């Protein structure tokens, strides 16, 4: 099977050589992640090591990106082989939702597996006086990079609370770490970060200044609707957060391209589930990756290679 994959990759090299498109040729396997202070990047780095160790004839590499929306567009263009993405961004990509950052339907996307939920985490400095979503009116909020998965989440949650960007004092479109630095310097009141629990940027913030984790009430989540679900940020997730806080979550997925060989994607999928301990060691969010929910809510067709592995394990939609 390993030799067959090598032959298929070699054939792909010849095909793509005449098109000028980046190929998965030469065994290159680019993992599209997110910012280095988020959860996607350390999990992508762990996945790269797993693939290097477990799949012969591939050369994995990790690419830091603006996350979901950029990742999906890069996949469609053939500029990556596997990507992390939020579920709502993935659904928008399949629909070709231009407002969400997709000019056309991204028809080459194929699912590998659901992974862990992203929690929509709104954290304010205690000095700002922000305790509720309504308190964000007139305040300075960072919502993530423009048209990133995080920013799409911000629009949805604010809309569910009857707010828009026009109600805010100032909107900043910044990555996680930059948002935190501005908050430390009192140039920003709050940041919305869509990530796994215990994301390093918010841990850093909470150990630097007193914070308030702002509740997203169940009624707001119900108004926003699928793919958002009610969730709870457990007490003690961040320094100074002494009680559990109601929030919202949306599932993350690993996706690939339709033109990757079935055998390769089979091995990529297998390597994920046979090395969950290594992924969890890279970030605790990976503890929520479950084989039985691998196809849960997948908004794009499954890749045949991933589907074959999951069916062998008794998992189906």
Last residue of a domain, one of 232, 250, 268: 250
Q: Does any domain span residue 74?
A: yes
Q: Does any domain span residue 317?
A: no
Q: Does any domain span residue 205?
A: yes
Last residue of a domain, one of 221, 250, 279: 250
Q: Which residues pair with 192 in a beta bridge?
A: 122
- The answer to whether the beta carbons of residues 125 and 211 sit under 8 Å apart is yes
Write the pLDDT tens digit of every residue in 43-95.
Answer: 999 999 999 999 999 999 999 999 999 999 999 999 999 999 999 999 999 99
Q: Which residues pair with 231 in a beta bridge?
A: 247
Q: Are residues 237 and 90 in the same domain?
A: no
Q: What pLDDT score does 18 carry? A: 36
* Cα–Cα distance measured from residue 183 to residue 170, given in angstroms and rounded to the nearest whole number: 13
Query: Tokens in use for 129?
Result: 């006086």
- The answer to whether the beta carbons of residues 115 and 44 sit under 8 Å apart is no
Cβ neighbour number for residue 206 with a 10 Å cutoff: 18
Q: What pLDDT score does 22 carry? A: 38
- The answer to whether the beta carbons of residues 317 and 73 sit under 8 Å apart is no
Could you tell me how far CA 308 lies from the centroid of its own chain? Answer: 24
Q: Are residues 94 and 9 in the same domain?
A: yes
Q: Are residues 232 and 273 in the same domain?
A: no
Q: What pLDDT score does 23 carry? A: 38
Q: Does any domain span residue 21?
A: yes
Q: Are residues 186 and 159 in the same domain?
A: yes
Instruction: Give the CA count within 13 Å in the CB-facing half-sphere of 165.
Output: 15
* Cα–Cα distance measured from residue 166 to residue 143, given in angstroms and rounded to the nearest whole number: 13
CA dihedral 251, 252, 258, 263 (to 10 degrees): -110
- Which helix (H) or strand (E) segment is 252 a member of? strand 245-257
Q: What pLDDT score does 229 carry? A: 87
| DSSP SS3 for 130 | coil
Query: Tokens in use for 57?
Result: 């004839």
Q: Are residues 62 and 109 in the same domain?
A: yes
Percentage of the residues of the chain whose pLDDT score is greater than 90: 83
Low-confidence ranges of the chain (pLDDT < 70): 1-26
Q: Are residues 99 and 173 in the same domain?
A: no
Query: Tokens in use for 246?
Result: 């109601």
Q: Does any domain span residue 186?
A: yes
Q: Are residues 128 and 227 in the same domain?
A: yes
Q: Does any domain span residue 168?
A: yes
Structural domain including 34 reads 2-116+252-312
Last residue of a domain, one of 219, 250, 281: 250
* Cα–Cα distance measured from residue 60 to residue 49, given in angstroms and rounded to the nearest whole number: 8
Q: What is the CATH number of the domain that holds 298?
A: 3.40.190.10
Is the entire prediction scored with pTM above 0.85?
no
Q: Are residues 183 and 297 in the same domain?
A: no
Q: Are residues 156 and 234 in the same domain?
A: yes
* Cα–Cα distance measured from residue 39 to residue 191, given in angstroms and rounded to the nearest whole number: 16
Q: Are residues 164 and 89 in the same domain?
A: no
Q: Are residues 233 and 277 in the same domain?
A: no
Q: Are residues 24 and 42 in the same domain?
A: yes
Q: What pLDDT score does 306 carry? A: 98
Query: Tokens in use for 121?
Result: 């985490």
- The answer to whether the beta carbons of residues 148 and 67 sit under 8 Å apart is yes
Domain count within the chain: 2
């Amino acid at each position: 099977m390993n030799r067959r994959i090598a032959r298929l990759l070699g054939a792909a090299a010849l095909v793509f050589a005449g098109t000028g498109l980046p190929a998965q040729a030469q065994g290159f396997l680019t993992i599209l992640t997110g910012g280095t202070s988020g959860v996607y990047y350390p999990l992508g780095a762990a996945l790269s090591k797993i693939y290097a160790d477990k799949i012969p004839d591939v050369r994995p590499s990790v690419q830091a990106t603006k996350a979901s929306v950029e990742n999906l567009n890069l996949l469609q263009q053939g500029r990556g082989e596997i990507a992390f993405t939020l579920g709502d961004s993935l659904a928008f990509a399949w629909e070709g939702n231009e407002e969400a950052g997709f000019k056309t339907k991204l028809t080459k996307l194929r699912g590998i597996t659901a992974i862990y939920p992203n929690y929509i985490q709104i954290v304010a400095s205690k000095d700002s006086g922000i305790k509720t979503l309504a308190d964000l009116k007139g305040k300075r909020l960072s919502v993530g990079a423009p048209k990133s998965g995080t920013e799409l989440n911000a629009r949805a949650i604010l809309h569910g609370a009857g707010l828009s960007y026009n109600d805010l004092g100032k909107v900043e479109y910044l990555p996680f770490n930059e948002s935190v630095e501005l908050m430390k310097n009192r140039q920003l009141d709050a940041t919305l970060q869509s990530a796994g629990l215990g994301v390093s940027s918010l841990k850093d913030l909470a150990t630097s200044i007193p914070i308030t984790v702002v509740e997203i009430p169940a009624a707001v989540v119900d108004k926003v609707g699928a793919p958002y679900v009610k969730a709870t940020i457990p007490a003690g997730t961040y320094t100074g957060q002494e009680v559990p806080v109601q929030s919202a979550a949306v599932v993350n997925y690993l996706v690939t391209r339709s033109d990757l060989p079935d055998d390769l994607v089979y091995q990529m999928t297998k390597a994920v589930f046979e090395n969950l301990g290594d992924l969890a060691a890279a970030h605790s969010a990976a503890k929520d990756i479950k084989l039985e929910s691998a196809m849960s809510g997948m908004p794009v067709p499954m890749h045949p290679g991933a589907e074959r592995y999951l069916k062998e394990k008794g998992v189906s939609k």
